[in-house]
Amino acid sequence: MDLKNKSFRSHFAYTNALKNDLLLNPNLVEAERNFLQAF
C-alpha cells in the first residue's frame, strides 16, 4: 500500500512537471503517452 502511494505521488509529480514543460517542449506529449502506457 505504501509503495503504491509512493508510486502514485511520483507519477503525480512527473505529470505536473510535464504539464509545465509542455509550454516549452510539445514533444513531451509523446513522452507522456509512452510513460502512461507503461502502467
Per-residue pLDDT tens for 1-39?
566 777 777 878 888 877 776 666 667 677 778 887 876
CB 18 within 8 A of CB 10: no
CB 22 within 8 A of CB 29: yes
The pLDDT assigned to 39 comes to 64
Give the structural domain span for 7.
Answer: 2-37
The pLDDT assigned to 25 comes to 67
Number of separate domains in the chain: 1
The pLDDT assigned to 22 comes to 63
Extract long-range pairs of 10-15: CB within 8 Å, 24+ residues apart.
11/39
Sign of the Cα torsion 30, 31, 32, 36 reads positive
